[in-house]
Amino acid sequence: MNYNILNWDKLNLKNPVHMNTVKYAMANYMRSPSTAFNPNKEFMKARRHAVSLQNMATVSDFPEYLTNLFAKFQTMPIYDMGYEAIFDIRPLSGTDGYDVYATEDNIQFVKILPGGTVKYYGQAGAKYRVYVDFYGGGAAIDHRLLYARDFYRIEELLTALRNRAYIKKASVAYGLIEAIGAGINVAWQNLDPSTLANTDATYTMNRDAQTMVTARNTLIANNLTKGYVPDGLTQTFVILCPYQLTQRIKRALAYRRQEMIDATTEVPGNFVVIETTMLASSTQYYMIIPKGKSTGATLLDLTQFNEFNQDNLTEKIADWMAFGFDIGDTPQFARLAIS
């Protein structure tokens, strides 16, 4: 079937080729926001019940209002994907999960005398399997909206469905972090020097900075001998915080005891601050050694399936994702208090 329809004057809802172009635009809109929509390539024939990403013919094939519609579908908001800096995300193919060793490797670097040989070590301890879960959501588009060319209403519904999918993925990742027990908690530390009055403008910054120093030192000590993380001194730490605390945390990271140009900041090390709206508590935040045994996997990116229901004139849209996350070593995390 040839989809290079030239010189369209209007959208014909009785023409299945015209309808497929709209379905393809919908399917593309659901794709990962890192995927750009290219209207300059031909798309291939689609099955009725599984609409995968396919691209349109040349822009001149479509009337201006329809081209504008596709451009509107192309607009991709920026999602909360800060968890990708924390978890080591791996793609899956042909399997429903991946294996994680419960303990660290047993590799040792030792002095070898002349004539000696290298000793070979494998992973130590037991392993467990992380399985992905499937997540789905659906929407029904009334074909009356297509007849009325109310594309903005269609876009609103598709946007809500797509946003819910990516919100769910982020909430699963952040929820796993928040579910770690109290063993990673770091209390709000005392002042240094202790003579600083609680009415001083730097009082809160000082205590926050001391808390960060304590958390950093704890993370380094707890992970110093693990071969799957750096030594801590050259490590870039991730600070995951609720958006309400972003400015407070950045002030603490920049805190100096002396207001001099060459004065060093109180908190040593390298940090990347990730703010999110998706943490349940706004009175605590996290310092994290990223990657290592914090892993995740995606088996199925957001994928759309369409089916027309002639009984009620609706286009049934089902979106599916399959992914999973795992925290295999909780000492890579510290939960910091602010009071």
Q: Which residues pair with 185 in a beta bridge?
A: 335
pLDDT in tens, 212-243: 999 999 999 998 878 777 766 778 999 999 99
Check pLDDT > 60 for residue 64.
no
Check pLDDT > 90 for residue 100.
no
Check pLDDT > 50 for residue 269.
yes
pLDDT in tens, 101-117: 776 666 667 777 788 77
Check pLDDT > 90 for residue 134.
yes
| pLDDT recorded at residue 105 | 62
Check pLDDT > 90 for residue 150.
no
| pLDDT recorded at residue 253 | 95
Computed over every residue of the chain, the mean pLDDT equals 77
| pLDDT recorded at residue 18 | 65
Average pLDDT over residues 257-278: 82
Task: Tell me which residue of 165, 126, 145, 163 sits closest to 320, measured CA to CA.
Answer: 165
* More confident call, 20 vs 201: 201
pLDDT category of residue 207 using cuts at 50, 70 and 90: very high
| pLDDT recorded at residue 97 | 92
Q: Which of 40-44, 78-82, 272-276 has the lowest mean pLDDT?
A: 40-44
* More confident call, 322 vs 67: 322
| pLDDT recorded at residue 80 | 86
Check pLDDT > 50 for residue 323.
yes
pLDDT category of residue 208 using cuts at 50, 70 and 90: very high
pLDDT in tens, 9-59: 455 656 666 666 666 666 666 654 543 333 333 222 333 333 332 333 344
Q: Which domains does the chain have, with CATH numbers?
A: 1-76 (no CATH), 179-295+328-337 (3.30.2320)
| pLDDT recorded at residue 249 | 96
Average pLDDT over residues 166-188: 95
